[in-house]
Amino acid sequence: MFASACNDGAEGSRTYPAKFTGVISVGSCDHQGSSSRCNSLSHEGIDMGFIGEGIPPIWGRSDLKKSSKTWYQSCTSYATPVAVAVGAFMIGYVKSRGWKDWGWKYAPWSPIGMKYTLRMMSAPTEAYRWVSPITFFKHTDADAIEILING
């Protein structure tokens, strides 16, 4: 459902699997929604931007027990797991609120339903839509949320 858009900056364009129909193409942003340098300059095909700057990853490390030093990485490859986590959180949130039984036009756990849910949690920037869960939680009325999610 989610794929890293591109990590090559001005030299690159959107890559597969982010080019496939139905896949949410993830761009990288800083904590305020500004585009990361690793995104393609055209931002062609990037659906949503997630925080991807200064992420402290643990995968790929062999020295977890030897060092307490924190190191940080940036770009769409690090923004994509953040996108997956936000998506998973929202599916759990919808289900925990009893909203899973609504007559969804597009279920939030489907690819198109997830795009609607993320749009509700986002704001347009110069390049794409910056996703911030805080935006979703500004909506407090369940009926309004249902209308927003169902388009």
The residue among 33 and 62 whose pLDDT is bigger is 33
- pTM of the entire structure? 0.78
Angle at 33 between CA 31 and CA 87, to 5 degrees: 85
DSSP 73: B
Tens of pLDDT along 38-77? 776 655 666 788 988 888 776 655 655 655 566 777 888 8
Give me the pLDDT at residue 130, please. 87
Give CA separation, 140 vs 83, 120, 143, in Å.
23, 13, 9
Give the C-alpha separation, 100 to 109, whole Å.
9
Res. 126: pLDDT tops 70: yes
pLDDT-derived band of residue 82, with 50, 70 and 90 as boundaries? very high
- Average pLDDT of the chain is 77
Considering only CA atoms, give the Rg of the chain. 16
Give the dihedral of Cα atoms 34, 12, 119, 97; nearest 10 deg: -100
Tens of pLDDT along 102-119? 777 777 888 888 888 888
What domains can be seen in the chain, in order of their start residue? 2-150 (3.40.50.200)
